[in-house]
Structure 1
Amino acid sequence: MGETKHIARKLVYDIYHKFHVRGSVLHRPVPHVSLFGPFGCKSLREVIHCIGEVGSKYSELRYSLDGFDYFESKKKFLFITTSSRKNVIFLKIKPSEELKEFRYELAKKLLKITDTVDFDHDSKDKFEFHTTLAMKDIDRKFENIWEYLKNYEIKSTGVCYRITLLKTGKIMYEYELATKRLLNRSQAIKRRVRR
């Protein structure tokens, strides 16, 4: 994610230090654009195979950053919202048509072999591309964080060359779109360091 990764990581740590928000830094943050998940599966090999199968059709995936937004969790009783709280602040990602298509193709395949409960995965246009900056313990601090983020004018473009499989924020595998190679954790980290 190049420059986007550095912007996201800086914002995660800025929010953490200024507002004491722990949700995104419980482990070392790995800024990423979520494409699918969370999920469980019977066979990780099948998941990796799906990533490679869909990834083989692409050499790069373009996107742009376009400011901030948030997710709100709502509790309902008989179709009436009884309470809501803002629980995630994120960088808005505007995907290229190729990135939209890639994510949709991948989701269709992974929905068949995983136990995800996220229903947005089966929609090409409703899926919200994002990079999380703060989550979980932000409800009471939301207004202050939101005001702070108004100081930033975030507009940037980026190119994705790798698809990463994360497990609890840790890189497990990466698929390189340009070389069509699957990298295990140590290979992926070595290649990142060389870059």
Structure 2
Amino acid sequence: MKRYVIVSLIHGDARKFHEKLVQDISSKFNVKAQTLPMHITLKAPFEIEDINEVEQITEEFCNKNNKVSIDIKGIGHFRDNVIFMDVIPSKEAIKINKDYYKELRNIKNLQWSNNEGENRKFHCTLASKNIRNKFQQIWNFVINEEISFSSVIDNITIMQYNFKDFKWNLYKKFQLK
């Protein structure tokens, strides 16, 4: 079985800022840097034998939906193990997320975790791997960052995990209209 994750890659100044902050956190606190470029997760990692149906649904979905706007403002966290840049989705972004989620739900054998769904929190992770014992230090380092970017969700991208190199590689990127 192959392992995939479905994301929307974020570009531009927000991505440059994110990459620098991720590297700063990694080097300053000796924690593992994120292995994916700046993104919003649309479908958490899953394993599937044949990705064709996912590709077909994603391509058809992108061909009939427009890119949508988002704002990236401030810092947030989940518990004491994930620190992220907060994403404020437009109404259109919320709708496109719900619609895509419903399409993916039609795929048999697609695995779902309990925290996935159409109402999940939009965010871009900064640090999440083994940070519990350094959470407060990292939080204090990032909390005063001035973060305010306007961006778009303009793609749905399937990434494939490379078990040999322990990293995610671009599998296929679909552009929204």
TM-score using structure 2 length: 0.82
> Given that residues 87 and 135 in structure 1 are in contact (C-alpha distance below 8 angstroms), is that contact kept between their aligned partners in structure 2?
yes
Question: Taking CA–CA contacts closer than 8 Å with sequence separation of 6 or more, which of the two structures ends up with the larger relative contact order?
Answer: 2
Aligned counterpart, 2:100: 106
SS at the partner of 2:78?
strand
Counterparts in 2 of 1:159-170, with a 5 A limit?
Answer: 159-168=152-161, 169-170=168-169
Rounded Cα–Cα distance in structure 2 between residues aligned with 1:16 and 1:94 = 25
CA contact (8 A) 1:65 1:155 kept: yes
Kindly tell me: are residues 111 and 40 of structure 1, through their superposed partners in 2, closer, same or farther at Cα, counting changes over 3 Å? farther
Larger relative strand fraction: 2
Question: Does structure 1 residue 8 correspond to structure 2 residue 2?
Answer: no
Task: Output the CA distance in 1 between the equivalents of 2:95 and 2:114.
Answer: 17
Contiguous gaps of at least 5 residues in structure 2: 1-10, 162-167
- The structure 2 residue matched to 1:47, chosen from 54, 60, 63, is 54
Which structure has greater helix proportion? 1
Asked whether the equivalents of residues 87 and 136 of structure 1 are also in contact (C-alpha less than 8 Å), the reply is yes
- What secondary structure is seen at the aligned counterpart in 2 of 1:119? coil
- 1-structure distance, mates of 2:68, 2:52: 23
Match of 2:125 among 100, 123, 132: 132
Runs of 4+ in 1 over 4 A off after TM superposition: none
Aligned equivalents of 1:162, 1:99: Cα separation in 2:
12
Give the corresponding residue for 2:174. Answer: 175
The equivalent residue for 1:19 is: 29
TM superposition score normalised by structure 1: 0.75
User: Aligned to 1:21, what secondary structure does the other structure show?
Assistant: coil
Gaps of 5+ in 1: 73-85, 179-195
Taking only aligned residues, the RMSD between alpha carbons, in angstroms, comes to 1.7
| 1:115 Cα deviation from its structure 2 partner | 2.9
Identity fraction in percent: 29
1:134 CA displacement: 0.6
1:120 Cα deviation from its structure 2 partner:
4.1
